[in-house]
Chains A and B, each alone.
Chain A
């Protein structure tokens, strides 16, 4: 009439050691995380540099969203050394950077038709758009939530005219612009503000 107990996970038995070690380890890890954790601040990795002339096939290789027209920042800003503010005309006078009107593009491209087939193809797109009075709908790359107010002018004044790269990366080496820093992430802003010891008041940006 004696019967044996079914074997079972034994809290009050020798299975315990593992559990204790696991549990303890986890606890320590969590505490460590809480105290030490910080999001890694922005690291700009080297964008691909490509030849000035290229064929349509190459474009697939570029990072970042494909634009209706392959506008090459690496040529305009890089090799031709055009100032950012030439096109982004209000970046240093307003909170909004401003994107160039079609007129601005045509200002040059009435005469400049491009050196190789690919470039010509792209420029033709532009000219057609201008002819048909159809503004080009660019794909947006950098977003800020609408409850954030980021005055470009203030930052350019504080960091200098070449400061664009701090957030947007080195576009002079980007054939097609892609997001280098996650500017949508408040941590990105705060890290910079902390490093420079500047205003961290909430209503500096949120109102």
Chain B
């Protein structure tokens, strides 16, 4: 097992102490954070209520652009989720040592990101009060949803993804919650005792647990790849030039992981400081995260290139017009924002100095987040704006209401995450311990 410097210096006791230390009473900064995310959420809720009352007209829709910021943000959040499952599940199967310290945080991020995304189909539809018609439930009309519609695929993909990743997170938490239970007192002991579901870490429990964890990881792995493929088919199944692409599934999955890792960095770098986990989450981890970012960044670079190449090579006038206008049309700025932020910025990570310089990494991660939001915005809006019938072409400009909902989504996500890292171990205690050899009487075997 590949080990690194920091692990040997720490004992199991240290790990328990440090991690459970993060759950100590919060400071002023924490409450400020809490207040700000709640405000953002409130703004979002108010905006939604107005839309619910008057209709979607307030948002900047401009036919033929009938999807815009809401769907963009939906895809953005679904994408964010992916890094979590990738790190916790796929890297688990690959037995990648550096994941252990960070995966709990990323997994939590996944669950909350998906929770955020799941709200958007409801925000986005015209008659929000009957969103449940998309579910196959028995009804007085004897009607079922249309299983050929990518949107119904979406409903299933997202809900499955949410259920499974939540299960995965909770399941992984059980032993750690038990550890917390054993190291706190008073009413908190009772509460964590409940949540620990009577975990004691007996050999029998570990036997089933570790197996089950393996299979959950095995199931989550294809799921994470499938979810964003399905999301990509929301577009690829359409005939709109700029959507109707065969590379969309891998293209979107790469993009998702890219944005996800970006968000992981954005969250982890400040979190590490705030929770004083410097000696646990080290350059080593950020270096690896950086490499991962670089890798998917390159995949994305390739995908962008391919899109333009295919458009040119197809000889299809519709495709060509769309991509020409994507770069030089009324929305050129968004088009270039996407290419520069994603394809080019990530190339900086070739340098180890940048990969290990947290400030630089943080700035880059912000760029990535913005860039990936714009990627979806460009793919959706600019493609719709100029499709087959030139007479119907139109350009949409977002309004306050679009931004309000976007802000609210960050509030919603932030609120959950903020509450989480103060009440649950943000680093997986038992997995870290698993990597630290236990002391021996006679020297190492």
Contact = CB atoms under 8 A, between A and B. Distances in A.
A39 B189 CA distance: 50
B198 A9 contact: yes
A6 B180 CA distance: 13
A12 B198 contact: yes
A154 to B, nearest CB: 21
B336 interface: no
Contacts of B198: 8-13, 15
A143 interface: no
Interface string B118-142: 0000000000000000001110111
Contact of A187 (B141, B189, B194, B196): B141
A15 B194 CA distance: 13
A185 interface: yes
Contacts of B193: 5-6, 8
B142, B181, B182 pick with most chain A CB within 10 angstroms: B142
Interface string A30-66: 0001100111000000000000000000000000000
Contact of A190 (B137, B142, B189): B142
Interface in A155-207: 185-187, 190
Contacts of A6: 181, 189-190, 193
What band does the interface of chain A fall in when counting residues whose beta carbon is under 8 Å from B?
10 to 19
Given A6-B189, A6-B190, A12 B142 contact: no
B138 A8 contact: no
A42 B410 CA distance: 50
A9 B138 contact: no
Main secondary structure of the interface of A (DSSP, over half): loop
B205 interface: yes
B312 interface: no
A5 B140 contact: no
Contacts of B318: none
Contact of A37 (B138, B189, B194, B200): B138
Contacts of A187: 140-142
Given A9-B197, A187-B142, 13 more contacts: A5-B182, A6-B181, A8-B194, A8-B196, A10-B197, A11-B197, A12-B197, A12-B198, A12-B205, A34-B137, A39-B140, A186-B140, A190-B142
Interface of B: 136-138, 140-142, 181-182, 189-190, 193-194, 196-200, 205
The 9 closest A-B pairs by CB, nearest first: A10-B198, A11-B197, A187-B140, A37-B138, A8-B193, A6-B193, A186-B141, A13-B198, A8-B198
